[in-house]
Amino acid sequence: MATARKKGSFLGVLGVGRMGGALMGGVLSSKVLKPSQISIFDIDQDKVKHAKNKFGVKAAKELSCIIKDSRVVLLAIKPQFLIEVLKEIRPLVSSKQLFISIAAGISLGTLEKALYPAHCVRVMPNNPCLVGEGISAVVFGKGVSRANLGFVNKLFSSVGEVFETDEKFMDVITALSGSGPAFIYNVIEGLVEATEEFNLPPQLALKLAVQMVLGAAVTVKKTRLNPKELREMVTSPGGTTIEGLKVLERREFKKVLAEAIRAAAGRSKELSQEFSL
């Protein structure tokens, strides 16, 4: 359990949208922090009211209150808004504070430049964090203490898996892990739509598709077999699966996926250049 400060809060959360809310829910349900140790702020007061009622946390009246009174600040703000927020809070930060950003494309260098002399961490969580099944890539800045390293790991472990990485990989990680769930949701949507001509009830089709994707992913994880090996287990000569795979090969399905990853990674790199100081 983290120790609360005598004044203010241990954790200040700027932005209480879905991801900010998911992280608060995770850290509270895992008992890493108590509601009294968390303060929140968002320009959308409806979101603040909802989060306050749901989690029992404190609501700050102004953005500056969060910065002045929190030992750790979670920046759960979209990248297009974060740069202006960084400029606004820059005069208020101290060397004793830790800032954690989950904004896609905002580099650690930009964070450290904007928030000096505070310490910074860049994290890329993903959408399945909403249900505790996410994975978060973490890049620690210079001088982050052992205690803060531990807190960051506990915070993101509360909503899934966590791993430390080198920032040079963050663009492709953003594309694969951050954007990837949307690609899979699109696949599920497409599979369900493909059954319409067979008059399969949509809810049944959705149930089958969801469990199939979940089961396949868990099988890869638990067996630790290469996806190619597992694919070959299902693919019998002259069978149904191989006929479907032939279509995917003709349409160069893997190349389409590669293009999607390349485009998302490229956009992540562009964001880091657009939103720099």
CA angle, 68 as apex, 72 and 130 as ends, to 5°?
35
pLDDT digits (tens, 9 = 90+) for 241-265: 999 999 999 999 999 999 999 999 9
Q: Average pLDDT, stretch 102-111?
A: 94
Q: Average pLDDT, stretch 14-40?
A: 96
Residue 165, number of CB atoms within 10 A of its CB: 14
Taking Cα atoms as reference points, which of 165, 119, 111, 157 lies closest to residue 138?
165
pLDDT digits (tens, 9 = 90+) for 222-232: 999 999 999 99
- The string over 24-55, giving b where at least 16 C-beta atoms fall within 10 Å of a residue's C-beta and e elsewhere, is bbbbbeeebbeeebbbbbbeeeebbeebeeeb
Q: What pLDDT, on a 0 to 100 scale, did the predictor assign at position 277?
A: 72
Q: Looking at the predicted structure, is the pLDDT value of residue 142 above 60?
A: yes
Q: What pLDDT, on a 0 to 100 scale, did the predictor assign at position 276?
A: 77
Q: Looking at the predicted structure, is the pLDDT value of residue 144 above 80?
A: yes
Q: What pLDDT, on a 0 to 100 scale, did the predictor assign at position 182?
A: 98
Distance (Å, whole) CA 136 – CA 79: 17
CA angle, 126 as apex, 43 and 110 as ends, to 5°?
60
Q: What pLDDT, on a 0 to 100 scale, did the predictor assign at position 7?
A: 57
Mean residue pLDDT of the chain comes to 95
Distance (Å, whole) CA 23 – CA 25: 5
Only one residue has tokens 């991801």, namely 19
Checking DSSP bridges between strand 70-75 and strand 58-59, what pairing results, if any?
unpaired
Q: What pLDDT, on a 0 to 100 scale, did the predictor assign at position 224?
A: 95
pTM, two decimals, is 0.92
pLDDT digits (tens, 9 = 90+) for 34-77: 999 999 999 999 999 999 999 999 999 999 999 999 999 999 99
Share above pLDDT 90 across residues of the chain, in percent, rounded to a whole number: 94
Q: Average pLDDT, stretch 177-181?
A: 97
